[in-house]
A and B are shown apart, each in its own frame.
Chain A
Amino acid sequence: MSDLRDLYQQTILDHTRKPRNKHEMPDATSTADGHNRLCGDKIRLFLKVNAGIIEDISFTGNGCAISTASASMMTEALKGKSVAEAQPLFELFHTMLTSPMDQEPDLEALNKLAVFSGVREFPVRVKCATLPWHTLQAAIKNQDAPVTTE
């Protein structure tokens, strides 16, 4: 079996136990709901965007260790960044999770998010890690309809 320690890295477990930016945001400029049909996980994402800059970002909801840590670390990675920077970061993140094992992902550009590289050994868990990001995209588009990971 692929090593569980690759999946449940200490950093990930730390964010699972103590998620950062996990709260509602009454003055959000947009929100979106995400839903993973496989496990029933639900997440709500809050964004406060001002002049193209993500001034604040938070989330609520209950999910597995991977989706909770991913949401937590995503909010940390994006706070203070521009909306325009978010999309390429998601693409890098997604590539890391779905690229074949013999391909080296761009861990440097991903910075702390590189701890999720172990997830690609567990294909059924990729959607857990990407759910917060898909929800972010919806919030950026300011869609009202809930997104799913399908």
Chain B
Amino acid sequence: MTTTTTKPRGSQAAKAPAFDSVAIRSDFPLLQTQSHGKPLAYLDNAATSQKPQAVIAAAARYYTTYNANIHRGVYKLSVDATAAYEAAREKVARFINAPSEREIVFVRGATEAVNLVAATWGMENIHSGDEIILSEMEHHSNIVPWQLLAQRTGAVIKVIAISQHGELAMDQYAQLLSDRTRLVALTHVSNALGTINPIERIVSMAKARGIPVLIDGAQSIPHMAIDVRKIGCDFFVFSGHKLYAPTGIGVLWAKGELLEKMPPYQGGGDMISTVSFAGSTWNDIPHKFEAGTPHISGAIGLGVAIDYLGGIGMDAIAEYEHDLLMYATKQLNRIPGLQIIGTAPEKAAVISFIMENIHPHDIGTIVDGEGVAIRTGHHCCQPLMDHYNIAATARASLAFYNNREDVDRLVAAVEKVKEVFN
């Protein structure tokens, strides 16, 4: 049998191991490379994260030693591949404290997970005149699937506004909740602002009226420990590639009783129990939602990424990143003419900024020349950009493998931007 676990870093003691950012950085091959002849300072982690060697090796090991399709062979390779794929599912369940691995559906990413819920649960439970509550800070992937559903069903979308600091208007949320509300779908952490939303309060307010809640965890899961039972939501979605795992794999977690009732998403192999032309019956959950050959190496890689993170500890990661965020915020705020967009007190390590008379696109090009990779644009949050009446921002998003030197390089690169334009 092939092993898919990596050795946890540091001691096995109950205490969180000390945070060794130098050793951690050396685990990521891409961070050793250069960009434009300069060491790479990768600060676009909200778009996607780099992968530790353990994850890269796990995918290679699958393809070189036990590549086979899953759930359908009696031979050893297939049995091994199936075991590794299902072991990854168990790891995901433990990572988010799901009651059972049967509630973990592998999908392509957060986007597909939201679409799955909208197309299955949504089509069955949301009708004409029903209301879906979203917020102004949602990623397009947690807006457009609901718009499509609303077009099909005649449902109505209600939007929680945000303050200038980038916090949800909780009073307004309380007013939006009504007898017509059928779903609240909200991001845990804003990818463009970094705001950490008070989702436990949001969920309990919805639950008081029996309203289901979907949480988009794409930007929270890389930065903090997630406990879906504590959050109390009904659906939680995220992408593997932002969690140091391969692209093309992601997770929908939903309460078992909901998954049992939901119709299938796509039809095909693996999701059925029996097929005849008189009609077919569905496989048990979660397989009912996993039609066709899945991203086997991706799921295995996700499991290994979770092992890797477990070796460091999500609480240690959150603490380290918070410290780095405070440092970066302080350093960037010192630059005259630079304005940070998104100044909520509770933030994950995302810093969006604009500069007086300098377009984000030009900032991005010039800092790229210094080996600093940041994102510029609307970050798939056009309604949010409209709120701030801007077309785009420059955004630095940090991970636990970043350090103060990366931040200093960003600051120096931004100074260079000012030089070019002055």
Residues of A within 8 A of B (CB): 1, 4, 7-8, 13, 17, 38-42, 62-66, 68, 122, 124-125, 128
Residues of A within 8 A of B385 (CB): 40
Q: How many residues of B contact A (CB 8 A)?
A: 21
Produce 1/0 per residue, B408-422, CB < 8 A to A.
Answer: 000000000000110
Binds A, one of B15-23, B41-49, B250-258, B359-367: B359-367
B154 beta carbon closer than 8 Å to chain A: no
Cβ-defined contact, B366 with A4, below 8 A:
yes
Can you list 29 A-B pairs with a CB-CB distance of less than 8 A?
A1-B36, A1-B37, A1-B368, A1-B369, A4-B365, A4-B366, A4-B369, A8-B362, A8-B420, A8-B421, A13-B420, A17-B357, A38-B377, A39-B359, A39-B360, A39-B361, A40-B377, A40-B378, A40-B391, A40-B392, A41-B391, A62-B359, A62-B391, A64-B361, A65-B421, A66-B361, A68-B359, A125-B361, A125-B365
B376 beta carbon closer than 8 Å to chain A: yes
The answer for the CA separation of A137 and B126 in the assembled complex, in Å, is 45
- Assess A40 versus B382: contact at CB under 8 Å? Given A1-B37, A8-B420, A62-B391: yes
The answer for the CA separation of A66 and B368 in the assembled complex, in Å, is 16
Residues of A within 8 A of B36 (CB): 1
Cβ-defined contact, B420 with A4, below 8 A:
yes
Cβ-defined contact, A42 with B421, below 8 A:
no
- Assess A64 versus B421: contact at CB under 8 Å? Given A1-B37, A39-B376: no
Nearest-Cβ distance from residue B211 to partner chain A, whole angstroms? 34
Q: Which 5 A-B pairs have the closest CB atoms?
A: A1-B36, A40-B391, A64-B359, A64-B361, A1-B369
- Assess A65 versus B377: contact at CB under 8 Å? Given A1-B36, A13-B421: no
Of B358, B360, B365, B421, the residue contacting A122 (CB under 8 A) is B365
Nearest-Cβ distance from residue B355 to partner chain A, whole angstroms? 12
The answer for the CA separation of A65 and B376 in the assembled complex, in Å, is 14
Cβ-defined contact, B362 with A64, below 8 A:
yes
Nearest-Cβ distance from residue B144 to partner chain A, whole angstroms? 15
Cβ-defined contact, A42 with B391, below 8 A:
yes
Q: In this complex, which of B37, B358, B391 has the most chain A Cβ atoms within 10 angstroms of its Cβ?
A: B391
Q: In this complex, which of A17, A38, A40 has the most chain B Cβ atoms within 10 angstroms of its Cβ?
A: A40
Nearest-Cβ distance from residue B339 to partner chain A, whole angstroms? 16
Q: A8-B421, A39-B360 are in contact. List 12 more A-B contacts (CB 8 A).
A: A1-B36, A1-B369, A4-B365, A8-B362, A39-B361, A40-B377, A40-B378, A63-B359, A66-B362, A124-B365, A125-B361, A125-B365
Q: In this complex, which of A13, A62, A63, A64 has the most chain B Cβ atoms within 10 angstroms of its Cβ?
A: A64
Nearest-Cβ distance from residue A14 to partner chain B, whole angstroms? 11
Residues of A within 8 A of B377 (CB): 38-40
The answer for the CA separation of A41 and B377 in the assembled complex, in Å, is 9
Q: In this complex, which of B36, B357, B385, B420 has the most chain A Cβ atoms within 10 angstroms of its Cβ?
A: B420
Cβ-defined contact, B359 with A65, below 8 A:
yes
* Segment 325-367 of B: residues with Cβ below 8 Å from A: 357-362, 365-366
Residue of B nearest to A7 (CB): B365
The answer for the CA separation of A40 and B385 in the assembled complex, in Å, is 10
Nearest-Cβ distance from residue A79 to partner chain B, whole angstroms? 25
The answer for the CA separation of A62 and B359 in the assembled complex, in Å, is 9
Residue of B nearest to A42 (CB): B391
Produce 1/0 per residue, B389-400, CB < 8 A to A.
Answer: 001100000000
Cβ-defined contact, B391 with A65, below 8 A:
no
Residues of A within 8 A of B359 (CB): 39, 41, 62-65, 68
The answer for the CA separation of A41 and B385 in the assembled complex, in Å, is 12
Of B362, B378, B392, the residue contacting A65 (CB under 8 A) is B362
Nearest-Cβ distance from residue B341 to partner chain A, whole angstroms? 14
Cβ-defined contact, B361 with A128, below 8 A:
yes
Residues of A within 8 A of B358 (CB): 65
The answer for the CA separation of A6 and B377 in the assembled complex, in Å, is 23
Residues of B within 8 A of A1 (CB): 36-37, 368-369
Residues of B within 8 A of A122 (CB): 365
The answer for the CA separation of A66 and B377 in the assembled complex, in Å, is 15
